[in-house]
Structure 1
Amino acid sequence: MKTVKIKFFISCLFIFFLISCNKQKEQKTETIVNVQPETELDLLALKEKSKLGKDTVITVINDPVYHKTKKYHAVNALLLLKNEIDLSKVDIKNTSIIFECIDGYKPEMPLELFLKTNPFLAFKDVDAPKGSNWEKIVKNGNEMNADPFYLVYTSTSTDNQEYKWPYNVIKFRLESKNKNVEALQPKDDEVAMKGFALFQKHCITCHAINGIGGEMGPELNYPKSVTEYWKENELVDYIVDPASFRHKVKMPTLGITKQESQEIVKYLKYMSGKKIEVRK
C-alpha cells in the first residue's frame, strides 16, 4: 500500500513539473512575440540630451508658411530618424510617419516618401527679430511662431501636397497605414465612402472621430456627432467657408466644393451611428 502511495506521489510531482515547464515555455514565447521596435521620437527629449545631430543653415525657396525665401538653422531630419529608429524592423511600404504638433495638429505622409526626400528640422529662423527664434507667422488674422521645430525641405516642390510642412512639431511617430482606415472606413456604404476619402484628405489632421485623428479641432463623433447639434445645411456651408461664420477662425478654407462638403457630412452622419467611447 505504501509503495502505491509513493508511486502516486511521484507521478503527481512529475505532472506538476511538466505543467510548470510548459507554462515557462509559453511565457517565453509570448515575450519574444511582443518585442516591438521603437516607433516614436520625442524631439524635445532628444534636444535635452543633445541628440538632434549636427546643425546647419539651409535655404528654402518659396517657403509655403512664410510665402517667401527663408533661411533656417536646422538638423537633418532623415539622419535623425535613422539614428533613433531601426528601420530594418519596420515595414516601410505599409507605414506612415505622423508629425505631432503642440496644438494637436497631426499631419502624416507615407514613410517611404519621407525617406526619399531631403527633410530638415528647423529650430531657428535666420531672419527672426532680435530676442526671438522665429519671425511671426500670420494666418487668418492670427499670429503664431514655429517653436519648437518646423519641418522643411530643400529639394521638394512646395506645391506638392503629399509633403507635409508642419510647425510646432514635438514628435515623430511611425504607424501602420491601415490602422485608421480599418477603424474609420464605412465598408458597407458606398455613398459614405466618398465622404470618408475626402475626410482622410482634408480633415483628419485636425479632427478626430472616435478618438482617431488630430486634436487641433474638436472631436466630431463622441459623445455627440457634430451632425447632431449643427443644422445640416449650415454645417455644409461652414466646411466650405469657415470664415463666413467666424471671425479669425482657425479652420482654413479647404478649397472644396459644396458637393464635396455634402459628401463629408454624409460620412459624418454615417459615423454618428458608429460611436466608440473615447478613453482619456
Structure 2
Amino acid sequence: MKTVKIRFIISCLIFCFLSCNKQKEQKIEQTVTAQPEMVLDLVALQANSKLGKDTVVTVINDPVYHKTKKYHAVNASLLLKNEMDLSKVDIKNTLIVFECIDGYKPEMPLELFLETKSFLAFKDVDAPKGSNWEKIVKNGNEMNADPFYLVYTSISADNQKYKWPYNVIKFHLEPKNKNIEALQPKDDEAAMKGFELFQKYCITCHAINGIGGEMGPELNYPKNVTEYWKETELVDYIVNPASFRNKVKMPTLGITKQESQEIVDYLKYMSGKKIEVRK
C-alpha cells in the first residue's frame, strides 16, 4: 500500500515538474518572439518635450521652397535611435516609412537613413510673424509644412534615394519584403513589369488591398480602379493627370504611355486578388 502511495506522489511531482518547465519554455518563447510596435509618434514626443536638442540648419536649394532655407530642427536619426531599440531590428532589411497628415507615406531604407545626417524641422526661420512656416505653393494650392519637415544639409534634392516629406507625424519601421510579398504577381511575368513601376511611382500615395499610402484612393477594394475607369482614359490620366482635372493633386510622373499601360495591366491583374480592407 505504501509503495502505491509513494509511486503516486512521485508521479505527481514529475507531472508538476514537466508542467512548470513547459510553462517556462512558453514564456521564454513568447519573450523571444514578441516584437515592440515599431511606430514613433512625433507629435506626442513634441507635446512631451522629448524631441531632443534643437539647432538651426541651413538647406541649400530646398526642394520644396526652391531656394536656400533655414530651419529650427532636431537630429532625426539621433531621435530615432534614442526612442527605439534598434538592437531588435534587422536594419539592412528594414524600411523607414514617413507617415504624413494627408496619408502620403514615402519610404527609404532604414540603413540609408541612419547613415545620413537628417533633421526634423519644426519651424521655419523665415516664417512670417505669428506663423511657424512660410507658405508652400504647389499646383495653385497653399499649405505649410506643419508639424514636421524632414530635411538634409548635405544631400542633393536630385538624389531620388532620399525622401523630403513635410506634414510628417509618425515614423514607421517595416520589413522590406512586407509589400513585395503581399502585392507581387509571382505567377505573371507581364504584370511584374507594372508591379515594379507601381512600387516606384504609386505606392507612396495609393494603396492596394490596404497596403500603401492614403493620400490618393485605394485602387483595388472594394472595386478595382480598372472596373470603373475606361482603360484608355486611365492610361492617359496616369501619364498626364492635369489634362483631366484642374489643380489635380496627382503629379506628372514623367513616365511613357507604354509604362502607364504596364501599370494598368498590373492593376487589372490585382482585380482578381482582392482582400477585404478592414478599417
TM-score category (smaller protein): over 0.9
* Larger CA deviation: 73-82 vs 205-214: 73-82
Q: Does residue 1:94 correspond to 2:93, yes or no?
A: yes
Matches within 5 A, 1:256-275: 256-275=255-274
Question: Is 2:77 the partner of 1:78?
Answer: yes
- Measured against aligned partners, the alpha-carbon deviations of 1:50-72 in whole angstroms (never above 9, x if no partner) come to 11111111111111111111111
- 1:172 paired to 2:168: no
Counterparts of 2:122 and 2:21 in 1: how far apart (Å)? 54
SS at match of 2:198: helix
Whether the aligned pair in 2 keeps the contact of 1:78 and 1:119 (CA below 8 Å) is yes
Aligned with 1:175: secondary structure? strand
Equivalents in 2 of 1:124, 1:162: separation in Å? 25
CA distance in 1, matches of 2:222, 2:4: 65
Work out whether 1:116 is the aligned partner of 2:115.
Answer: yes
State the distance in 2 between where 1:248 and 1:216 align.
15
| SS of alignment partner, residue 215 of structure 1 | coil
Q: Which residue identity is paired with 2:141?
A: N
The residue aligned with 2:103 is 104
SS in 2 for 1:127: coil
Which of 188-197 and 88-97 deviates more?
A: 88-97
Contact map agreement 1:38 1:85 (CA 8 A) in 2: no
**Distance in structure 2 (CA, Å) of the matches to 1:171 and 1:118:** 19
2:156 paired with 1:157: yes
Identical-pair percentage: 83
> C-alpha separation between the residues in 2 aligned to 1:228 and 1:102?
29
CA distance, structure 2, for counterparts of residue 37 and residue 249 of structure 1: 39
The residue that corresponds to 1:62 in the other structure is: 61
- State how far apart, in whole Å, the 2-side matches of 1:167 and 1:275 are: 32
Matched residues in 1 for 2:81 and 2:15: separation?
Answer: 48
In structure 2, relative to structure 1, the CA distance for the partners of 1:88 and 1:15 (3 Å cut) is: closer
Structure 2 residue identity aligned to 1:185:
Q
- Cα distance in 2 between the residues matched to 1:6 and 1:194: 74
Q: Deviations over 1:188-242 (max 9, x none)?
A: 1111111011000000000000110001111101111101111100110111111
1:34 aligned partner, one-letter code? T
Deviation at 1:268, TM superposition (A): 0.4
User: Structure 1: which amino acid aligns with 2:101?
Assistant: I
In structure 2, what is the equivalent of residue 206 of structure 1? 205
- Residue number in structure 1 paired with 2:38: 39
Aligned residues: 279
Q: What is the CA distance between 1:180 and its match in structure 2?
A: 0.7
Stretch deviating more after TM superposition (109-118 or 198-207)? 109-118
User: 2:3 & 2:226 partners in 1: Cα distance?
Assistant: 76
